[in-house]
Amino acid sequence: MNTFKLAILAALLAPMTASAQERFGTRNGHIAFFSETPMENIEGNNHKVSSVWDATTGALQFAVLIKAFEFEKALMQEHFNENYMESNTFPKAEFKGKMTGVTAEQLKKPGTYEVMVEGDLTIHGVTKPVKTKGTLTVEANGTIKASSDFMVRPEDHGIKIPGTVRKNITEQIAIRVRMDYTRM
């Protein structure tokens, strides 16, 4: 059983020991990345992000299948998987950390909160600490929308960009995270 499914099981079983915990999840989170240079713009979108957030402890986890990133152009998708992300060797990216700045009590009524997300981001088999701001919106129907934008340097995760295409790809890739959480 993979570690992410174990985390989900733990999240579901935990209420037996701590009834006050508030857990939210999604299987359809959206993560996009962007590289914009004068040579070309590259955009990848993944609408199959799994995430679990425990509002009581703040524990937050994401998991992404690299091959589920989609591109407008097939050649970009092939280069992304084969040359840069090596998705046959590193099929997933993960984040494990905490979200702070909002309490479980605040989630009971609609509102928007500025939050801080901090943890370990594993891409291409290399784990690096990440700290970034985000926004959490509680809607009237109880859905929680979370968003965050931050930058990642490919080289920090051991992703080598050949000199011949260095001008085609930005030094820092912009990451956009959009999650619609529902209660688990």
Partner 1 sequence: MPEHFRTEPAMRPKIMIAVLGTVAVIGGGTYAYLEYNRGTADADAMRPVASVTATELLTAFTSDEAAADHRFVGTAEQAIEVKGTIRAMEPVGSDKTNVILETGDPMAGVVCEFSNADLPGDWRSGASVTVKGICTGLLMDVVLVRCAASQ
User: CB of 72: closest distance to partner 1 in angstroms?
Assistant: 7
Give least dist CB 101 to partner 1, A: 26
Cβ closer to partner 1: 5 or 153?
5
Q: Which two tokens stand for residue 13?
A: 């079983």
Smaller CB distance to partner 1: residue 10 or 18? 10
Residue with smaller CB distance to partner 1, 30 or 98: 30
- The CA distance from 19 to 89, in Å, is 40
Please, are residues 57 and 30 in contact by the beta-carbon 8 Å criterion?
A: no
Name the residue among 83, 50, 51, 86 with its Cα closest to residue 66. Answer: 86
Cβ neighbours of 4 (radius 10 Å): 17
CA distance 101 to 87: 34
In residues, how long is the chain? 184
Q: How far is the CB of 76 from partner 1 (least distance, A)?
A: 9
Cβ count near 172 (within 10 Å): 14
Strands 23-36 and 111-123: unpaired
At closest approach, how far in Å is the CB of 82 from partner 1?
9
Contact (Cβ atoms closer than 8 angstroms) between residue 147 and residue 135? yes
C-beta of 28 vs 103, nearer to partner 1: 28
- Measured from the CB atom, is 27 or 131 closer to partner 1? 27
DSSP character at residue 21: -
Give least dist CB 153 to partner 1, A: 25
In the complex, which residues of this chain contact partner 1 (CB under 8 A)?
1-2, 4-5, 8-9, 12, 27-28, 30, 47-48, 50, 63-65, 67-68, 70-75, 77-78, 88, 91-92
